[in-house]
Amino acid sequence: MPPCANCARETEILILDDEPIVCKRLKPAFQKAGYAVETFNDSASALTRVEEKRFDIVITDLKMEGADGMVFLSRVKELYPETGIIVITGFATSETAKESFRKGAFDFVAKPFKLGDILDAVRRFEESRKKD
Amino acid sequence: MDIVCGLKKFFTLFRSSSQPVLPFTVLFKKFRSILERNNLILELMADMGDKLGGEYIFDSQFVVDSTGRISDLVFKLISDLCVMTQSEIVDLFVAFERIQFQIQEELAGRRAVPVTKPVLLLDELNGDFSEEAGNKFANLGEIRNTLDLPTMDGFVVTTRSFFDFMEANGLFKHIEKGLAELDLADESILEAFCEEVRRRILSGTMPRHIVSAIHAALDIICGRNRANTLRFAVRSSAWGEDSEFSFAGQYESVLNVPRKGVIDAWREVAASVYTPEALRYRLHRGYRESETAMAVGCQLMVEAEVSGAMYTYAPVAAETEAMVISAAWGLGEAVVSGTAESDTIFLDRLPPHRVLSIEAGHKASKIIGEQNGGTAWVDVPEELQDAACLSGEYIQRLAQTAAMIERYYRRPQDVEWAIDRQGNLFILQSRPLNVKPTQPELHRPHIDNAALSAQALFSGKGTVVQGGVASGTVYVTATDDDLKDFPFGAILVAHHTSPKYSRIMRKARAILTDIGSATGHMATLAREYRVPTVVDTGIATKVLKTGDVVTLDAIRNVVYAGTVKELSQFEITQEEVFEETYEYRMLKRVLKKVTPLNLVDPNSEIFRAARCQTFHDITRFVHEKAVESLIDLSENYQRYHDKGSKRLKYPIPLDLTIIDIGKGTSALPEAKSLTLEQVTSTPMKALLEGLIESRMWETAPVAVDMGSFMSSFSRTFSSTMARPEDVGRNLAVVSDTYMNLHLRLGYHFSILDSYIGEEINDNYIYFRFLGGVSTVERRSRRAKFIADVMVGFDFLAEIHGDLIVGRLKKLSRERMVGRMKVLGGLIGYTRQLDVNMTSDERIDFHLADFMQRIHVLKEVRDDAPMCELRPGNRDFDSRR
């Protein structure tokens, strides 16, 4: 179990993607790697959840029905500046990448991606937290 | 419109058909664009194929986007070819639209009905028939026809027939309506709905064409098996069954069916698609109705004395890896359904498959086939109730057979089998076993240590196209035509990649080539079939000989001598367990319309536009036609080129005029001549430098006998004959990466067409050599010498009398340049050669002489694999 930077509990991850397959595959992969995972297919319920609970890491798609991923990203940053945000998107333009970094995303992963890519991004975030 | 105008128009039309309308530069640009698109398409295909590997996460948008990009490229590819060949290739556009439509239907989630016969004999099936015959019987066809294991004779009523039956009885509409309107979460509603559908199937009318096809097949089977009271096993073989999901036990089998009962049995099996359990199973796993289809297999019954199941990977504690057999008297249904006690035998996974334990069950009763059809439980004679039903000999045979099937599919297997009264073993079915073997990645350090003691023959050479591990016996092929005898389970070692190898993809355990690219046609196929493959090793055919036993670790890219036992467990584990998602299945189905290559051999009957079934077919067809067309065009370019030409100032009297169609020279546009230094075209420069640096021009072939005198005499003679005005001027069309050269020297006439750039896939040299004043024998000796040299430098050479055609493709820029320089040397060396070819021994003499002297070229010295003559490759007559 990878402990979070400052305490002994599991790192908690929220995943939001309107494509069910992404959640379906990421959840077991992260659980296997020792993380606690919650997944959401729509941004409304994900928003409700982050209002209730702080996650260490949020992984979100950018382009979705309803509230845009960018709105969700901004809200999470507003609530928890410490939370690491990793953006995954199928529309990988340098513009969207720039904007998500500007809004405080830690990393940017273009779809389709390898499981290893996103696990690496999460670990890099944990490493950076340890250094701080 | 008046008559004169009409006539004018007619003549314009008439003229335009006899000469190209567009300048060569434009046509050449189209050619370049075809090459570029061709590569993009192959890369996209490889990229989509990679996604099936399991390590990627992709969504349906990815599938839609990538197929959109591919079809766009394919369409433009066809358009380019139309411009290039100045013709409308209607058949290609029709093929494109047909494939495009099928893909759109898949993407839209509509039912794709396979185009096939209502009934297929088991003899016709292999693993490619999963759409038509369902996975179970496609696998069984593979086991029967490829692995040559004993199976019972029979046939399959295809999924096409299922669709026709359902459609004819209005059932699809009924079901779709029900699924859309009913609350299927309510168990009682679901059950009532299923009951209703099944009743309709059981009382449905079978379309007449299916009935007669079934009777015809039954006639064939009965005729072959000459018994009057044949009984059949009628089994389900649905889409998806026995593949990613086992659907084990979801669908019906009807046993011991007399001939007249076969169609009713079919209805029973078809109806089992709509049991509440099966429907729930599909709904639960995200199967859509458009993905549901039932093929039904009909096979002769085995009058089984003993039958059972075998797992090649026992689902037991991780540290003990074992196989397990369950066996009982009579028919196997008791064992499979788990309704009666059976014997359980554990044995070693590795040969000699030592028995670890035998536990004999108390087998009080067994199932047998009844005289008049149907099955019944009967008592087992007392003395047999506690006796083991399998002897050591049969345990061994079963273990070997199951291990063979497992190695073939590279995944653990669940094999159902039966032994008849005469002691014959039959395979009833085999499906992938859904247990994951212990994680070999965890053992990796241990295995790497073990592999250290194995002798590595070479490592890190070339590019891994498909990962995985395989051990087996090497089969070195000299040409891609000698594959008829390719043994099952061998490792193919070839000089170059060729799409023709698709023929043996299902038989080959691995593929290694000297040259070739990771994104070529063959590489795509290797990924599709998941055959561990490494290309461009440079040395595979030199190091490995037919009959060598080796192990390829295409994860670490190492080839070991012998079988490395520790690595062999990777053979079944590298294959990712398929992702159980709709997106995955969708991609897989769409790729079936994209990647398979049916148009393999350009010389074959079926190499026609109308025969294109996939985007890969179209791409390959266009590529072939474009190359053909360019060679055609360039042979006639003198009539219509539109660029100013320049004379080459060169120490050797080549009398060469150069037309630059794009960055091929650095001379001023208005200049009438240029020097070698001003030639910037990669292939042209290499050829001209090779001619000088090899120093073959000044020095005639070394002469050692009376012939020397004659040859020097005739040399003087023919060089006077070869004055420029006698032969016409030599011409080259060049760009920075391209050269098309028509060269007449003395009595030899050569055509060289070549592209050399950074993209390996584009690179090629086409060399044609003809003529010479001499006797036929001497000329054909010279031809043989030239072919020998070219083969020594990786060309494919073809001889027709004294015409030699050499082709070389897909080498890196550096290696292409090296070979082009060698051709320069060869042109210099051969210019008077035929008069010197007084006997067959001269061929070997000149070959040795040339090979030794060509080492003066730095490129030849630096490129180790180049310039080694392979023994045993001396018979070129059938060579292409």
Query: pLDDT tens-digit profile of B560-586?
Result: 998 887 776 555 543 444 445 678 878
- B61 touching A (Cβ < 8 Å): yes
Tokens of B658: 């150069």
- A25 touching B (Cβ < 8 Å): yes
Is residue B415 located within the same domain as residue B473? no
Residue B247 lies in a domain: yes
pLDDT digits (tens, 9 = 90+) for B671-701: 888 999 999 999 999 999 999 888 887 654 4
ipTM of the complex: 0.82
Domain containing B445: what range?
A: 440-565
Q: Which residues of B are catalytic?
A: 521
Residue B623 lies in a domain: no
- What is the per-residue pLDDT for B364? 83
pLDDT digits (tens, 9 = 90+) for B278-314: 888 777 777 777 778 899 999 999 888 999 989 888 7
Among the partner-chain residues A24, A90, A116, the one whose CB lies closest to the CB of B55 is A116
Report helix, strand and coil shares of chain A as percent, to nearest 5: 45, 20, 35
Q: Tell me which CATH homologous superfamily contains domain A12-126.
A: Response regulator (3.40.50.2300)
CB contact (8 A) between residue B57 and residue A90: no
Number of A:B CB contacts under 8 A? Answer: 42
- What is the per-residue pLDDT for B442? 47
What angle in degrees, to the nearest 10, is found between the helix axes of A115-131 and A20-32?
60
CB contact (8 A) between residue A112 and residue B57: yes
Query: Where in chain A are the domains?
Result: 12-126
- What is the per-residue pLDDT for B137? 93
Q: Which whole number is the average pLDDT over B818-825?
A: 93
Residue B116 pLDDT class (50, 70, 90 cuts): confident
Low-confidence spans in chain A with pLDDT less than 70? 1-8, 64-67, 91-93, 132
Is residue B162 located within the same domain as residue B270? yes
Q: Which whole number is the average pLDDT over B806-829?
A: 90
Residue B96 lies in a domain: no
Contacts of B56 in chain A (CB under 8 A): 112-115
Residue listed under structure tokens 């190209």:
B20
Residue B101 lies in a domain: no
Contacts of B59 in chain A (CB under 8 A): 19, 21-22, 90, 111-112
Helix (H) / strand (E) element for B206: namely none
Helix ranges, B664-751 (H):
682-693, 706-721, 724-727
CB contact (8 A) between residue B62 and residue A90: yes
- What is the per-residue pLDDT for B71? 95
Contacts of B57 in chain A (CB under 8 A): 21-22, 25-26, 111-115, 118
Is residue B412 located within the same domain as residue B478? no
- B187 touching A (Cβ < 8 Å): no
Listed residues B420, B450, B468: the one ending a domain: B420
Mean per-residue pLDDT over chain B, rounded: 79
Among the partner-chain residues A90, A114, A118, the one whose CB lies closest to the CB of B59 is A90
Tokens of B730: 């030599």
- A111 touching B (Cβ < 8 Å): yes
pLDDT of residue B10 exceeding 60, the answer is: no
Question: What's the CA gap between A91 and A109, in Å, rounded?
Answer: 10
Q: Out of B86-100, B277-291, B402-416, B486-500, which region has the weakest mean confidence (pLDDT)?
A: B277-291
Residue B656 lies in a domain: no
pLDDT of residue B559 exceeding 60, the answer is: yes
Residue B719 pLDDT class (50, 70, 90 cuts): very low
Residue B832 lies in a domain: yes
Counting the structural domains of chain B, the total is: 4
Is residue B688 located within the same domain as residue B782? yes
Is residue B709 located within the same domain as residue B852? yes
Is residue B400 located within the same domain as residue B529? no
Residue listed under structure tokens 């839209």:
B108
Residue B87 pLDDT class (50, 70, 90 cuts): confident
pLDDT of residue B801 exceeding 80, the answer is: no
Residue B7 lies in a domain: no
Q: Nearest CA of chain A to the CA of B55: how many Å? A: 5
Tell me if B54 sits within 8 A of B577, measured CB to CB. yes
Residue B47 lies in a domain: no
Q: Nearest CA of chain A to the CA of B51: how many Å? A: 8
Q: Which whole number is the average pLDDT over B599-628?
A: 85
CATH at residue B363: 3.30.470.20
Query: Rounded to 10 degrees, what is the CA torsion of B221, B223, B226, B232?
Result: 20
- What is the per-residue pLDDT for B449? 62
Question: What's the CA gap between B462 and B41, in Å, rounded?
Answer: 22
Q: Listing from the earlier edge strand, what are the strands of the sheet with B456-459? A: B456-459, B558-561, B549-553, B469-477, B491-494, B510-513, B533-535, B463-466
Is residue B359 located within the same domain as residue B401? yes
Using CA coordinates, name the residue in chain A closest to B61: A90
Is residue B400 located within the same domain as residue B501? no
Contacts of A25 in chain B (CB under 8 A): 57, 579, 581
Is residue B320 located within the same domain as residue B231? no
Is residue B324 located within the same domain as residue B270? no
- A22 touching B (Cβ < 8 Å): yes
Residue B493 pLDDT class (50, 70, 90 cuts): very high
Is residue B549 located within the same domain as residue B408? no
Listed residues B300, B318, B353: the one ending a domain: B300
B357 DSSP β-pair partners: B346
- What is the per-residue pLDDT for B710? 34
- What is the per-residue pLDDT for B846? 87
Most confident of B163-172, B699-708, B738-747: B163-172
By C-alpha distance, which of B286, B592, B238 is closest to B431?
B238
CB contact (8 A) between residue A116 and residue B57: no
- What is the per-residue pLDDT for B589? 84
pLDDT of residue B718 exceeding 50, the answer is: no
pTM flag (> 0.95):
no
Q: Out of B502-511, B695-704, B736-745, which region has the weakest mean confidence (pLDDT)?
A: B695-704
Is residue B469 located within the same domain as residue B556? yes
CB contact (8 A) between residue A112 and residue B51: yes
Tokens of B696: 């073959």
Contacts of A111 in chain B (CB under 8 A): 57-59, 61-62
- What is the per-residue pLDDT for B705? 36
- A32 touching B (Cβ < 8 Å): no
